[in-house]
Amino acid sequence: MTYNNQSHITTEEDVKAFACHIINDLGIMFHPYDDLSEYVNFEASAHCFNETEAKMYNRLMEECFDVFREEDKICVITFPVLQKAIKKGFELKCGTSNKVKIEYE
């Protein structure tokens, strides 16, 4: 899935797909409460997102929170994806597609 300024997250399945996208396609291990504009690729000495991308991804993350009335539910949904990535040998390579593909079960 590709996300753009017209993309929206409205369902629990959208939240799961978004978490997998960040890990699989962007190669970023993230925390739902973080500001994605602050994520840095230390090898490249550069931010993972430009200003426009960070704004879009932060908006989409806010929409993830809007799907659930209970704030902590976002963690219940996203953390299993993150844990699975760690167990499968996730390599933090912001800006490149991750070799380990994670699917939400």
- Mean pLDDT calculated for residue range 23-38: 86
**Per-residue pLDDT at 100 exceeds 50:** no
**Domain residues of the chain, as ranges?**
12-87
Give the CA distances from residue 28 to residues 11, 18, 23, 66, in Å, rounded to whole numbers and listed in that order.
Answer: 22, 12, 5, 22
**Per-residue pLDDT at 70 exceeds 50:** yes
Q: Which of 25, 19, 39, 22 is nearest to 79 (CA)?
A: 19
Q: Which of 23, 90, 58 is nearest to 49 (CA)?
A: 58
User: What percentage of the chain carries pLDDT values higher than 70?
Assistant: 80
pTM of this structure = 0.78
**Per-residue pLDDT at 53 exceeds 90:** yes
97 or 42, greater pLDDT: 42
